[in-house]
Structure 1
Amino acid sequence: MTLAEFPTDWQRALVLMAHPDDPEYGTSAAVAEWIAQGKDVRYVLATRGEAGIEGLPPEESGPLREAEQRAACDRVGVEVLEFLGYPDGRLTESLDLRHDLAAAIRRHRPDGVITLNQGDTWGPGTWNSEDHRALGRSVLNAVGDAANEWIFPDLEGPRHQVKWTAILSMNPTHAQQVSEESVDKAILSLAAHSRYLQALDSRPVEEQAAEQVRRAIARDVGGPAVSFELYGL
């Protein structure tokens, strides 16, 4: 597969995803690479992931997962992290979600937006959750909403048009090459979600994190890289 080089003519990107840990499954290696280059990358997450840990009630899980996400951000150098406060596991393609995502885009005014796979699957036999699908599709619409002065006239700030939208897609078009140092930072970033990972697998969290991150960047593009499908170029 021949993928184009990821754009370099930008300074700020906004990562819009559904849950704590979503940015860490591959994207964070690219984020670490970009921040090392002096770029500004910010995270806005729709939920706090409070329904994500078996046996741990949401009122305990939410604050824990928020804290783990802040630790994960620290490990790749992300300084700005926001939560929109939507209920975990119950995201829908609502006008409210589009409104709040468009507001985030206007507030942060990124050159590009990075979001989740909005398709039904992650490949044969692997279903994609409704939260991911609803978030990804809503982001694609919110990009247009943020640039339109009439759809949500109550939004603060001038309208804003991003240059590109990058999706963690099963049909990538562009690849961001990453260094081994960035890969290591991404592994540490995913491992910061220690309580979450402990609930998924009995193996050490560092082992799980290394396996997941390296799997995510293992495409044959001439070296370690994170692959995206880009819209808007």
Structure 2
Amino acid sequence: MSQEHNKRALVVMAHPDDAEYGCAGTIAKWTQAGWQVTYVICTDGSSGGPDDTSQVGLQERQRLSACRKAEQRAACRILGVSEVIFLDYPDGLLEPTPALRRDLVRQIRRIQPARVICQSPEYCWDARRRYHADHLAAGQAAMAALYPAAQNPWDFPELLTEGLLPHKVHQIYILRPPICNYIEDISETFEIKLQALHAHTSQVGSGFEQLTERLRREHRQLGVQHQISYAEAFFLLENR
């Protein structure tokens, strides 16, 4: 299938809600344009609970994981995402291991996307941003999976026995990198982004109004720089 006719995209994130915070406006824009979008969530989301230490236990973690997965599926329905896959690595302990890389290569070869959005594998030394170790690990594993592993038949040859042939992704959108070189106009989909984020009730809770105002301000400030209403920023790699 030619790149022009391959309208499949893959979004690789560490946690449920990461994509909604970072790039849901772009995802909604793509699905509205006929793109088939798949999410791969690396962790089980079991560490995103309240600060009350009395609630930290196995049963609560299991309950929280199930809740956050349901919220992620609800957000995906709002955005028009076709499929969401949970790799179920323990939340808070994600590392860019060969096993995680293989799991991502498996999905890249299965889906054969033309585009991938992933998190940045680099720290940004900016006090206004917070970087979770899981986000960095997901970004590092995704980048290693994208090149060279997904397109190299010598990497993870066991996947060949599953019928998963090498695949080259032509566009890689890196979310929240230290340096951005690409702006996506989300003026028409910003409200959909907010609706999808609101689906993550366990995370946004009663603070959603304040979060909405902050996101409006941040995305508007970014958009003003480019004469548009709202924008999301990436570092775009063209893998030709």
TMscore range, shorter length: 0.7 to 0.9
Structure 1 contact 93–135 (Cα < 8 Å) conserved = yes
> What residue number does 2:30 align with?
34
Structure 2 contact 174–234 (Cα < 8 Å) conserved = yes
SS of aligned partner of 2:86: strand
Q: Which runs of 5+ in 2 are unaligned?
A: none
Tell me which amino acid in the other structure corresponds to 1:225.
A
* Pairing 1:174–2:182 present: yes
Question: Superposition pairs for residues 59-74 of structure 1, below 5 Å?
Answer: 59-74=62-77
Question: Superposition pairs for residues 2-41 of structure 1, below 5 Å?
Answer: 11-41=7-37
Structure 2 contact 10–38 (Cα < 8 Å) conserved = yes
**Quick one: structure 1 residues 8 and 190, their matched pair in 2 at CA, closer, same or farther if it must change by over 3 Å?**
farther
Structure 2 contact 74–199 (Cα < 8 Å) conserved = yes
SS of aligned partner of 2:39: strand
Can you list the C-alpha shifts for 1:37-61, whole angstroms capped at 9, x where unaligned? Answer: 1111111100121111124521110
Tell me which amino acid in the other structure corresponds to 2:166.
R
User: Hey, what's the Cα distance between the residues in 1 that align with 2:99 and 2:137?
Assistant: 12
Structure 1 contact 12–40 (Cα < 8 Å) conserved = yes
> What residue number does 2:227 align with?
222
Can you list the C-alpha shifts for 1:76-101, whole angstroms capped at 9, x where unaligned? Answer: 11121110111100001110011101
Q: Which moved more, 1:51-60 or 1:149-158?
A: 51-60
Q: CA RMSD in A?
A: 2.1
Q: Percent identity?
A: 35
SS of aligned partner of 1:218: helix
Greater radius of gyration (CA): 2
Query: By how many angstroms is 1:15 displaced?
Result: 0.2
Question: Superposition pairs for residues 80-99 of structure 1, below 5 Å?
Answer: 80-99=83-102
Moved over 3 A (4+): 7-10
User: Hey, what's the Cα distance between the residues in 2 that align with 1:122 and 1:189?
Assistant: 29
SS of aligned partner of 1:170: coil
Can you list the C-alpha shifts for 1:120-171, whole angstroms capped at 9, x where unaligned? Answer: 2372354411101111011011012110101100113111000021101231
> What residue number does 1:152 align with?
156
* Pairing 1:162–2:158 present: no
User: Hey, what's the Cα distance between the residues in 1 that align with 2:132 and 2:216?
Assistant: 20
User: Hey, what's the Cα distance between the residues in 2 that align with 1:8 and 1:228?
Assistant: 21
**Quick one: structure 1 residues 112 and 153, their matched pair in 2 at CA, closer, same or farther if it must change by over 3 Å?**
same
- Give the aligned length: 222
Q: Whose helix fraction is larger, Structure 1's or Structure 2's?
A: 2
Q: Which runs of 5+ in 1 are unaligned?
A: 1-6
User: Hey, what's the Cα distance between the residues in 2 that align with 1:75 and 1:214?
Assistant: 23
> What residue number does 2:110 align with?
107
Q: TM-score, normalised by structure 1?
A: 0.88
Structure 1 contact 45–84 (Cα < 8 Å) conserved = yes
Structure 2 contact 123–178 (Cα < 8 Å) conserved = no
